[in-house]
Amino acid sequence: MDLPVDEWKSYILQKWSLLPKSIQVTISTAETLHDLFLHSSPLLQPEDEMFLKRLSGGYLVGKDPDASLFYREKGNQKFQAKDYMGAAVLYSKGVSHSGPSSTDISLCYANRSAALFHLGQYETCLKDIVRAQTHGYPERLQPKLLLRKAECLVTLGRPQEASQTVIDLESSFAAKPTLSASQFQILQRILCRVKVKVQEKENLPEIFPEALTKTFEGVDLREENEQIPGASSSVSLHVDPLKGRYLVATKDILPGELLVKEDAFVSVLNPGEVPLWPRGLESKWDIQVTNGDLHCHRCLRHTLAPVPCDGCSYAKYCSQECMQQAWDRYHSVECSLGALLLTLGLFCHVALRSTLLARFEDVGKVTKKLCGEMSNQGICLPESKNPVQTLKYDLGGEGDKKDKAVETPIPGCDINGKYERNYNAIFHLLPHTENHSPEHKFLCALSVSALCRQLEAAGLQAFTTDLKPTKLKAAEPPVLCAELSVWGVAMLRHMLQLQCNAQAITTIQQTGSKESLITDTRRVRLATALFPVVSLLNHSCSPNTSVSFIGTIATIRASQLIRSGQEILHCYGPHESRMGVAERRQKLRSQYFFDCDCPPCEREKQRPSAGPGRGAFRCHRCRALLQGDDVLSCSGPACMESVSRDLLVSRLQDLQRQVGAAQKHLRNGRLEVAIQLLLGCQSDAESFLSAEHSVVGEIEDALAQAYAALDLPLFAGDWEKSATHLQKSLQVVEVHHGPSSVEMGHELFKLAQVFFNGCAVPEALKTIQKAEKVLLVHYGPWNDEIRELQKMKSCLLDLLPIPVGPKE
Ligand SMILES: [Zn+2]
Ligand SMILES: [Zn+2]
Ligand SMILES: [Zn+2]
Ligand SMILES: [Zn+2]
């Protein structure tokens, strides 16, 4: 998903292997990205572009009125079955496929407003009603819509507006002699009901609904860093030739302290698995729900009622404002390129969007001083705001790094030494050109070239600069105009940077069956982004910070006490609790080009048996741990048992398959079947795995969920059994991730839910307190789970018997 699709990848690799040796050498040894791009780009032939065009033709990104009807009907089915959430999402898909001001779009909006009404989302429902009306909702159906509007307004405590709607409604009835008698009667009856409600409400003082939107303003940095906006004053920026740039604590930092709060410079929503068309035989359109259906394409906010771009079916936004901003800043260029961008992958998309965003920066500050150096660069531009100028300056500057080093000692900082969250900072993230394989660089260069050609073909070079585009002579081989090739080089740089600097924006998604009373959560990747400040942090397999996201804003908090002078570290992915040292080091070397020497890596290198996965098997006779490499022998005092690792590993794989199958039953609500399977897995696991094995934890966790979901009279599930299993799972999590880890926090949250549902007041309160303490450190106070815990707590405190005071 980050890189181009496999078909294009192998096509380009094939092309590379057929190139004459001399050309391969020229490209491999190109000293600058500029040379690399200039040597590769002309090799992209028209037939290559045709091939790419065929590939991207498989994505459905345009509007299709037939699809609109299809999704509306599917939505109606869900609506009939009272699955309002499912209906809303399908109506949204219908909305995105209908053209603006069409009956199709107005019907989809109107139907979605009904689903939202049932979901209790009255504000959003009202917005959809207005949308339906502005897009030309049929006159004859208006009464239905107006009634819904009146009911919404009543529920929201806005009686004046509701009365006005009722008046509109009555006059609309009067103008409708076409209504059948029975229809008229039904409407009359509903109208009466609404009128009564309106009158009741009119006598009450106006109540405004409590703002439920998540505000982030309350969680700010205690004191902002003067050198690095977005970072706390408790850290400082350092640079050294071996480690590059990094952050160090300037004072003792307590767990939970906010160290960085930064909005992404650029982010691109990961649309999820977008299937290529044609898919199944039954249907041209899929009804699968992905990230792209549920999150705003600009601010990433979750929404059940997105508004689509007028020009395509794939870009959807939480609001008209987000749509407009996205359009102005980048989507006007990207809109027609949707299929190509899906084919070329997220990195290519982020690269394009970064350069598009660079157009809006006041780069004058950076360039003015260096304008003298610009005079020999070919293009000298009058506008200080012109991105081509910055790009040109920076690209030309690669050769004379040393001169620049004198002026700005830390790359990415301005002449005053301030590290700003702007394009300059993005530009200075390391592309590691020398570390990428020639084939990879060739793939990136040709993908970027293809994108530039499309931009050119679409006449979009006007977007890249205010200057008139340089004229192309028709007879010449394909050469990009000067501005676009400057853009191409910049995009190539971003594509190479992203491998080491891309930050995945993740969100916690709730999974588990609808019946389940305890929430299971899963971390999913929502977007790929670049954060200049977050990028300053180095990696550790055992980091001292925790990263979380709200929309496109990243926050980094200390996850433990950090002493003054210690480096601030976060984990790029390979965490010591998830992988052994060999796997971690291999991953870090191949993706990030360095050898990790963090304390856990050094420790495990000395003593390989310390990592996870080792010492995990035990003897089926005496239960003692098995030790050894290819052949493991029992460590029990009087036991001679030995067994091959291969055998144990294949047994483990069998077990994991079974657990997977049981979890699937659990998700589909087949609880009894799931429990039977899981109990089998549990006794199997006991016979050869240690009690701390992560699979044992998974089994216990799944059992807990299953028992909690059982439909028993009086109590919510078999909460006692559920709690017992959850406590075992908690022990495993503690061994693997530590007592104050975020994983522990999520598991404690589940246990709190179980106790709460079982009305086990003291246990619940104790667990809520523990969960809250752990989660606060990682997420700060505005986290959904923490709010949920607080609600449970106040509910329980109301239940507690009121202590009787001493008699007077
Ligand atoms: Zn938005
Ligand atoms: Zn669009
Ligand atoms: Zn490490
Ligand atoms: Zn033994």
> What band does 284 get if pLDDT is binned at 50, 70 and 90?
low
The reported pLDDT for the residue numbered 127 is: 94
In sequence order, what DSSP letters do the residues of 280-326 get, joined into one string?
Answer: -SS-SS-----HHHHB-TTT--B-SS-EE-SS-SS-EESSHHHHHHH
Ligand 2 center to residue 320 CA distance, Å?
A: 13
Cα 614 to its chain centre, rounded Å, is: 33
Ligand nearest to the CA of 297: 1
Lowest-confidence segment of 57-71, 165-179, 197-211, 655-669 by average pLDDT: 197-211
pLDDT at 96: 93
**pLDDT tens digits, one per residue of 435-486:** 899 999 999 999 999 999 888 887 755 555 443 333 333 334 445 666 677 7
Contact (CB, 8 A) for 258 and 779? no
Q: Is the per-residue pLDDT at 217 higher than 60?
A: no
Ligand 4 midpoint to CA 655 (Å): 21
Q: Compute the distance from residue 131 Cα to the ligand 2 centre, in Å.
A: 18
Q: Are 526 and 269 in contact (CB under 8 A)?
A: yes
Q: Which ligand is nearest to the CA of 571?
A: 3
**What is the spatial distance between Cα 284 and Cα 277, in angstroms, rounded to a whole number?**
7
Closest Cα partner for 74 from 115, 134, 116, 130? Answer: 115
Query: Could you tell me if 672 and 515 are in contact, meaning their C-beta atoms sit under 8 angstroms apart?
Result: no
Closest ligand to residue 585's CA: 3
Distance CA 694, CA 735 (A): 9
Q: What is the DSSP letter of 654?
A: H
Q: How far is CA 501 from the centre of its chain?
A: 16
Cα separation, 696 vs 692, in Å, equals 7
Give the pLDDT confidence of 692-716 residue by residue, as tens digits.
Answer: 888 999 999 999 988 888 766 555 5
Collapsed DSSP state (helix, strand, coil) of residue 144: helix
Q: Separation of 698 CA from ligand 3 center, angstroms?
A: 26
Measure 423 CA to ligand 2 centroid, in angstroms.
25
Band of pLDDT at residue 399, cut at 50, 70 and 90: very low
Task: Annotate 435-473 with b (16+ C-beta within 10 A) or e (fewer).
Answer: bbeebbbbbbbbbbbbbbbbbbeeebbebbbebebeeee
* 239 Cα–ligand 3 center, Å: 20
* pLDDT band at residue 276 using 50, 70 and 90 as cut-offs: low
> If you measure from the C-alpha of residue 580 to the centroid of ligand 4, how many angstroms do you get, rounded to a whole number?
25
State yes or no: pLDDT of 71 exceeds 50.
yes
> Would the pLDDT of 507 be above 50?
yes
Between 324 and 390, residue with greater pLDDT: 324
pLDDT of residue 272: 75
Q: What is the DSSP track for 177-244?
A: TTS-HHHHHHHHHHHHHHHHHHHHHHTSPP-PPPP-S---TTS--SSB-SSSTTBBTTEEEEEETTTE
Q: How confident is the model at residue 615 (pLDDT cuts 50, 70, 90)?
A: low
Residue 531, number of CB atoms within 10 A of its CB: 29
Q: Which one-letter amino acid corresponds to residue 156?
A: L
Q: Which ligand lies nearest to the CA atom of residue 301 in the structure?
A: 1
The bound ligand whose nearest atom lies closest to the alpha carbon of 621 is 4
What 8-state DSSP symbol labels residue 566?
Answer: P
Q: How far is the CA of 614 from the centre of ligand 4 (A)?
A: 17
User: How many angstroms separate the alpha carbon of residue 617 from the centre of ligand 4?
Assistant: 11
Q: Residues 95, 98, 102, 104: what is their CA dihedral angle, to the nearest 10 degrees? A: -60
The Cα 654–Cα 9 span in angstroms is 34
Cis check: omega of the bond before 278, within 30 degrees of 0: yes
Give the SS3 label for residue 555.
Answer: strand
| Alpha carbon of 581 to ligand 3 centroid (Å) | 7
Task: Give the Å distance between the CA of 353 and the centre of ligand 1.
Answer: 17
| C-alpha 316 to ligand 2 mean position (Å) | 8
Question: Would you state the structure tokens that stand for residue 652, as one six-digit string?
Answer: 């483990």
- Categorize the per-residue pLDDT at 519 as very low, low, confident or very high, splitting at 50, 70 and 90: low
Residue 363: pLDDT band with limits 50, 70, 90: very low
Give me ligand 1 centre to Cα 610, in Å. Answer: 46
CA distance readout (Å), 33 to 36, 60, 524, 736: 5, 34, 34, 43
**Residues 75, 91 contacting (CB under 8 angstroms):** yes
How far does residue 159's CA lie from ligand 1's centre (Å)? 30
Structure tokens at 801: 């018997």
HSE, side-chain direction, 13 A CA sphere, residue 766: 5
Closest CA to 72 of 95, 50, 51, 55: 95
CB atoms within 10 A of CB 105: 28
Centroid of ligand 1 to alpha carbon of 322 (angstroms): 5
Strand (E) or helix (H) holding 631: strand 631-634
- Give the pLDDT score at 421: 78
Q: Are 584 and 576 in contact (CB under 8 A)?
A: yes
686 CA → ligand 4 middle, Å: 14
Which residue in 541, 546, 645 sits closest to 586, CA to CA?
541
The arithmetic mean of pLDDT across residues 496-505, rounded, is 92
Give the whole-angstrom CA distance, residue 572 versus residue 701.
27
Tell me the two tokens of residue 472: 């192309």
Q: Which residues surround ligand 4, an ion (CB under 5 A)?
A: 619, 621-622, 624, 634, 636, 639, 641
- Measured CA to CA, the distance from residue 405 to residue 407 in angstroms comes to 5
Q: What integer pLDDT is reported at residue 574 of this predicted model?
A: 85
Q: How far apart are CA 39 and CA 396, in angstroms?
A: 17
640 C-alpha to ligand 4 centroid (Å): 7
Nearest-ligand number for the alpha carbon of 603: 3
Write the pLDDT tens digit of every residue in 621-672: 888 888 887 888 888 888 888 888 889 889 999 999 999 999 889 888 788 8
Q: Is 632 exposed, middle or buried (0-12, 13-18, 19+ CB in 10 A)?
A: buried
Cα of 211 from ligand 1 centre, angstroms: 18
- Distance (angstroms) between ligand 4 centre and the Cα of 642 equals 8
Q: How far is the CA of 620 from the centre of ligand 2 (A)?
A: 61
**Range in 115-124, 349-358, 502-511, 672-681 the model is least confident about:** 502-511
| C-alpha 104 – ligand 3 centre gap (Å) | 56
Q: Mind giving me the DSSP string for 404-470?
A: HHHH-SSTTB-TTS-B-SSHHHHHTS---GGGS-HHHHHHHHHHHHHHHHHHHHTTTHHHH-SSPPP
* 314 C-alpha to ligand 2 centroid (Å): 7
Mean pLDDT of 82-96: 92
37 or 379, greater pLDDT: 37
Average pLDDT in the chain:
81
Q: Is residue 553 very low, low, confident or very high in pLDDT (cuts 50, 70, 90)?
A: very high
Rounded distance between C-alpha atoms, residue 621 and residue 140, angstroms: 79
Whole-angstrom distance, CA of residue 693 vs CA of residue 797: 37
How far CA 73 is from CA of 98, 315, 681, in Å, comes to: 14, 22, 43
Radius of gyration from C-alpha coordinates of the chain: 30
Write the pLDDT tens digit of every residue in 309-359. 999 999 999 999 999 999 999 999 899 999 999 999 999 999 999 988 887
Question: Are 573 and 278 a contacting pair, CB within 8 Å?
Answer: no
H helix runs in 432-580, sequence order: 438-457, 461-464, 482-501
CA distance 388 to 464: 8
- Residue appearing with tokens 């329980």: 796
**Cα–Cα distance, 703 to 728 (Å, whole number):** 11
Ligand nearest to the CA of 611: 3
Distance 618 CA to ligand 4 centre (A): 8
Return the structure tokens found at 285.
């359109």
Q: pLDDT > 90: what percent of the chain? A: 38
Q: Is the pLDDT of residue 565 over 50?
A: yes
